[in-house]
């Protein structure tokens, strides 16, 4: 298992924060710790307001869905759009179900993609 650092990229003259949570399988504790640690960088004023979450090959549980959505939805940082790339059907269902059943009012647009390039295109 390789744990890659997340990073900002420039794409068509816009900055996107790329969250690298791919290939972590069912290691939800590692994903949780990594995400919460990296959120410290995401919430900085200098960080991009567009976020691409690459989760290909990682199981997104109900708990992780809740952590992702609640943390990104905090009013600590203006986040405009979040694109998830590589979700399994179960992961997609967990995120959508959490949003629906928790009645959370998202402060950002959210979308889901199989292809990471399509996710980047939607963000800009």
pLDDT digits (tens, 9 = 90+) for 6-43: 999 999 999 999 999 999 999 999 999 999 999 999 99
- Over residues 71-90, mean pLDDT: 94
Identify the CATH assignment for 7-123 out of 3.30.750, 1.20.140, 3.30.70, 3.40.50.
3.30.750
Please spell the DSSP secondary structure of the chain, one letter per residue: ---PPPEEEEETTEEEEEEE-TT-BT-HHHHHHHHHHHHHHHTSTTS-SEEEEE-TTB---HHHHHHHHHHHTSTTS---EEEEES--HHHHHHHHHHHHHHT---SSEEEEESSHHHHHHHH-
pLDDT digits (tens, 9 = 90+) for 90-101: 999 999 999 999
Domain boundaries, the chain: 7-123
């Amino acid at each position: 298992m390789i744990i890659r650092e997340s990073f900002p990229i420039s794409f068509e003259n816009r900055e996107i924060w790329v969250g690298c949570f791919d290939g972590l399988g069912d290691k939800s504790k590692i994903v949780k710790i990594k995400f919460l640690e990296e959120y410290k960088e995401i919430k900085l004023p200098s960080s991009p307001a567009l976020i691409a979450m690459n989760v290909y090959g990682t199981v997104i549980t109900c708990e992780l869905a809740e952590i992702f959505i609640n943390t990104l939805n905090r009013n600590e940082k203006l986040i405009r759009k979040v694109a998830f790339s590589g979700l399994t059907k179960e992961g997609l269902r967990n995120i959508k179900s959490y949003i629906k059943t928790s009645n959370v009012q998202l402060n950002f647009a959210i979308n889901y993609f199989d292809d990471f390039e399509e996710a980047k295109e939607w963000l800009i």
